[in-house]
Structure 1
Amino acid sequence: MAFAALIFAAGGCHSESTKQQNATSENADSLLSAMNKAIAKNSDNDAAYISRADYYLSMNNVDSALRDILIAISIDHQNANHYITLSDAYLSAGNPDKCLDALDKALSLNPDSREALLKKAQLYLIMRDYKQSRATLTQLLDLDGINPQAYFIAAIGQLEQADTAAAIRSLQTAVDQDQEYFEAQLELGIIFATQKNPIAVSYLRNAIELRPRTIEPYYQLGLFFQENDKIESAISTYQNILDIAPEYVPALYNLGYIQLVYLNDFAKAADYFTQVTALAPQYTEAWYNRGYTYEQMGRYDMARTDYNTALEKTNNFQKAIEGLNRLDEK
């Protein structure tokens, strides 16, 4: 599943962000210290090593996690869950073959492990082995037909194989089984939006209700409104994004585009594009569109400057060349 949105940090929040980071670091240090003490107190406690390994994985310290997992396995080599954790570490290390071996070992110890089967289906999907992914999901769903994550994984595989109709059915099953499944609601919204189906609005609003501080569903909803000429709704939705993240470039850019193309409010368009070029100076289209806005305002010197900047960002950018040619004829 691909999400196009890119979150830019909001300005003026650096001191608060630093405080939060420091607090998080202090909590992490305290947690690690407690884990170390638990292991020192009882070095034969395999669960303690797994807990510390999970912590290391959350901190992207794969080597330390692997060491602890292997110690836990040496203490209890019949625990299938230890091999599932081992598979997580190998996946984080970018080693899918060892990840698969670990999952197979877990399943040899517990053939009905739903977690191991789900992770194995996910792994096959990552490896683009759709046949094995489907077979593993079938095995999982034979054990338990109520498994929304399994249907979601099936849907992603179907999307990657361009079977949109099957993907929709799988995602709708996932949502039927778990109405609070954010990713499934969002993906359905995105799919229906690409089809210009108004039902997209319902799914995207469901996703927003589930995670009101997550930008992606707002952005997809705003884009749907914009592409279907519901301009006021698009503006309102993009403004909702800026209430959460005032420096979110895609929303600022799209608001500028709406002001330029749909509303012909060139002053507002120029303001939005100026914000974008300040936040994302390599954004060629923003430089071009601000130049085009200035051209419409009769501010030809400023337009020329922006067209030239667009060409500096992207060699032979055709629209900027055409813009300069227009200015030469004025």
Structure 2
Amino acid sequence: MNRILFPVLGLVIFIFGCGNNDTVPNDKSDESNNLETVLDSTEYFEKAIFADASSPTPYWNRAAWHLRNARVREGLFDLDLALEADSTYGPAWSAKADALYLMQRFEKCIEHLDVCLELSPEHVPCKLRRAEMHIHLNQFDEAFSVLNDALRIDDQIAEAYWMKGMIYRESGELDNALSSFQTSVEVNPSFFDGYIALGIAYGATSNPLAVDYYNSAIGLRPRSVEAKYNLAMYYQELMLEEAPARSIALEKALALYVSIIEIDSMNASAAFNSGYIYLEYLQDYENADFWFSEAIVRLPYYHQAFFNRGLARESMQLNSEALEDYNSALKLKPDYTQAALAKSRVLGES
């Protein structure tokens, strides 16, 4: 598949966030002002381990602390200690597999997941990650089997329905994909990825329901570049027969791209797409020139931006500047046929 189904760091946090927090103090105590400092210390975790050295939980908690602070080696060491304390402790197996995934040691990751499922067959995070690995390998039947096992344990797992939807979508079963995505947000109305998936699915057929789903995603994460970008692309690619309606859609797309740049000032794609709208749809070549230039500032090797800026400048009769842009595009991509043809055209007119 083209897309990684789980944001890796997000899943690390998810796995650790689902653990046993019995050793964590109540943050409503009188010492709450010092809680963050206390928790973020070696002393705190060593005391917890000393108090219950035979339990895997305090080692697992310290591993979570290490991994949240990018100390992968220390985190793996503590996960091994957790498994020495209890070799069937599913959270440690799944967390270790996830750390291996972060390190791109995928075969080892799969080995640990298989051990996890053997020793802790009811541990849902291991099932979800194992299903994902099956999907990466296009082993869809195996993925379905693992996901259905997870749903037999807990039929309210939004991620499982979403992953089934992704498999259906890859297999061309769009109705089943939509049904699975819909179920994912029904069981968890705060499930961001489900709304994104629904937006993409409905947007592919220009169904206005896409707007509702993207807006739901934005409501959950107002600063999400992904949700805003997808919605902008929906408006940009919406082919409406009536010119006023088409103009409104393009204005909405442009506003969203500006919003994206306010969130992510180095987002070259938002700048490029703005330029493309001005060039291709609005024939506003000055604004097109401006936004393609902004894209190039953000991504100096953006050969498409040089080419399109060349088109805008050629349309304004700025042939020398256009020629420079076509040459820049060809320098970055020597086999860029469109730029070569445009260069020949400009030279023929000179």
Please, what TM-score do these two structures have when normalized by structure 2? 0.79
> 1:51 offset after TM fit, Å?
1.4
Q: 2:136 aligns with which of 123, 126, 130?
A: 126
Match of 1:20 in 2: none
Equivalent-residue separation in structure 1 for 2:99 and 2:266 (angstroms): 35
Equivalent-residue separation in structure 2 for 1:318 and 1:126 (angstroms): 34
> 1:300 offset after TM fit, Å?
1.2
Q: Aligned ranges for residues 220-259 of structure 1 at < 5 Å?
A: 220-228=230-238, 229=246, 230-259=249-278
> 1:246 offset after TM fit, Å?
3.3
- Secondary structure of 2:341's match? helix
- Structure 2: gaps (5+ residues): 5-35, 239-245
Q: 2:341 aligns with which of 319, 322, 325?
A: 322
1:207-258 C-alpha deviation (Å, 9 max, x unpaired): 1111001111111111111111421221222222223223321111111111
Match of 2:328 in 1: 309
Aligned residue pair count = 307
Q: 2:215 aligns with which of 197, 200, 205?
A: 205
1:176-226 C-alpha deviation (Å, 9 max, x unpaired): 212211001011111221222221111111111110011111111111111
Higher RCO (CA 8 Å, separation ≥ 6 residues) = 1
Q: Counterpart of 1:120 in structure 2: which amino acid?
A: R
> Relative to 1, partners in 2 of residues 1:318 and 1:48: Cα closer, same or farther, differing over 3 Å?
same
> 1:41 offset after TM fit, Å?
4.6
Q: 2:159 aligns with which of 145, 149, 157?
A: 149
1:59-78 C-alpha deviation (Å, 9 max, x unpaired): 44433222211112222334
> 1:89 offset after TM fit, Å?
3.1
Equivalent-residue separation in structure 1 for 2:37 and 2:110 (angstroms): 30
Please, what TM-score do these two structures have when normalized by structure 1? 0.83
> 1:134 offset after TM fit, Å?
0.7
Match of 2:33 in 1: none
Match of 2:180 in 1: 170
- Secondary structure of 1:329's match? helix
- Residue 31, structure 1, aligned to residue 50, structure 2: no
Q: Counterpart of 1:263 in structure 2: which amino acid?
A: L
Could you tell me whether the CA contact under 8 Å between 2:158 and 2:187 is conserved in 1? yes
Structure 1, 28-37 or 136-145: larger mean CA deviation: 28-37
1:259-306 C-alpha deviation (Å, 9 max, x unpaired): 112222211111111111121111111101111111111111111111
Q: CA RMSD in A?
A: 2.6
- Structure 1: gaps (5+ residues): 4-26
Match of 2:93 in 1: 83
Match of 2:290 in 1: 271
> Relative to 1, partners in 2 of residues 1:295 and 1:29: Cα closer, same or farther, differing over 3 Å?
farther
